[in-house]
């Protein structure tokens, strides 16, 4: 089986690169952390990797809206050789590779037009904006996955994950895009209550997102973004209720539920 390689970008206020790289390594892949400037200077090439990962953090301090400056930088930045970075990104996807964005990374993917990309034109169709609570939310949430939407979620049904964001509320540009998201099944991760039912109620839904959305895929399933942090749940003992989980389910191993997302994509790429 092939060795799966992930490029985890950092710089400009991104701050979750180390645990993200650890997730790919624990999942059986290889991970390289690189400053985005090194990518722009072509010291590191996207095309040597299978996965491009945009981690969480506070790129450019979120001063003009979370992920917006980072999105514009990636949209319009020219590489050292003169070509647009975004053209390189499109070629990376057309070659069948994968992109994952978590929290700030999800915000950047949305504002670059990579998600949900209904029309296939890489134009912004939705945004992620201020939580209904008007404050930063740092809590654990329950989510339900639509596993057929993307290989990242293969076999996942319910999953507990932590969120930590101030701007995670999905707002959809118009009714036509909303209907297309639903028709294509791109709303692939939703906030649910204790009974597993999708909810807009706070705090189970920490931000008031349209469609109770915690994560989106593009129609190909190769681009996936989510607000919760799977890289923050790599071990069972990361969960605040791990003793109760272990007592109720003694058969549970030591792996955290978040690791499954990284294992899924590594396994998918290695076997294809």
Q: In sequence order, what DSSP letters do the residues of 206-247 get, joined into one string?
A: SS--GGGEEEEE-TTSSEEEESS-GGG-SBGGGSTTHHHHHH
Burial class (CB in 10 A: 0-12, 13-18, 19+), 134: exposed
- Alpha-carbon distances, residue 214 vs 82, 121, 134 (angstroms): 37, 23, 18
**Residue 228 corresponds to which tokens in the numbers above?**
């919760």
Q: Is 84 helix (H, G, I), strand (E, B) or coil?
A: strand
> Within its chain, how far is the Cα of 82 from the centroid?
29
User: Is 229 in the active site?
Assistant: yes
- Whether 158 and 144 have beta carbons less than 8 Å apart is answered as yes
The answer to whether the beta carbons of residues 113 and 123 sit under 8 Å apart is yes
**Is residue 65 helix, strand or coil?**
coil
Please say whether the dihedral angle defined by the alpha carbons of residues 122, 107, 153 and 264, taken in this order, is positive or negative. positive
Cα–Cα distances in angstroms (integers) from residue 99 to residues 26, 44, 89, 223, 243, in the given order = 19, 16, 9, 5, 34
- 213 is an active site residue: no
Catalytic-labelled residue, pool 103, 143, 188, 213: 103
Is 103 considered catalytic here?
Answer: yes
Instruction: Tell me how far apart the alpha carbons of residues 104 and 74 are, in angstroms, rounded to a whole number.
Output: 14
Report the alpha-carbon distance of residue 186 to residue 147 in Å, rounded.
10
Q: Which of 53, 212, 222, 229 is catalytic?
A: 229
Catalytic residue among 125, 137, 231, 257: 231
Please identify every residue annotated as catalytic: 103, 229, 231
């Amino acid at each position: 089986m092939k060795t799966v390689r992930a490029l985890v970008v950092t710089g400009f206020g991104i701050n979750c690169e180390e645990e993200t790289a650890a997730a790919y390594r624990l999942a059986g892949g290889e991970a390289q952390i690189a400053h985005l400037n090194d990518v722009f200077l072509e010291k590191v090439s996207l095309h040597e990797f299978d996965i491009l990962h945009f981690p969480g953090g506070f790129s450019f301090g979120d001063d003009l809206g979370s992920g917006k400056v980072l999105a514009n930088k990636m949209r319009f930045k020219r590489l050292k050789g003169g070509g647009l970075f975004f053209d390189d990104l499109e070629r990376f996807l057309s070659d069948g590779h994968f992109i994952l964005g978590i929290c700030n990374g999800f915000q950047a993917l949305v504002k670059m037009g990579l998600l949900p990309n209904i029309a296939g034109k890489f134009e912004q169709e939705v945004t992620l904006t201020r939580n209904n609570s008007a404050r930063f939310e740092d809590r654990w949430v329950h989510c339900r996955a639509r596993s057929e939407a993307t290989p990242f979620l293969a076999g996942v049904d319910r999953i507990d994950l932590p969120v930590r964001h101030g701007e995670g509320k999905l707002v959809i540009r118009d009714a036509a895009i909303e209907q297309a998201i639903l028709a294509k099944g791109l709303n692939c991760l939703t906030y649910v209550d204790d009974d597993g039912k999708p909810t807009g109620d706070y705090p189970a839904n920490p931000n008031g997102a349209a469609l109770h959305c915690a994560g989106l895929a593009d129609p190909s399933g190769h681009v996936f973004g989510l607000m919760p942090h799977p890289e923050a749940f790599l071990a069972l003992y990361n969960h605040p209720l791990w003793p109760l989980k272990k007592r109720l389910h003694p058969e549970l191993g030591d792996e955290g539920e978040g690791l499954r997302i990284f294992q899924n994509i590594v396994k998918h790429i290695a076997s294809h």
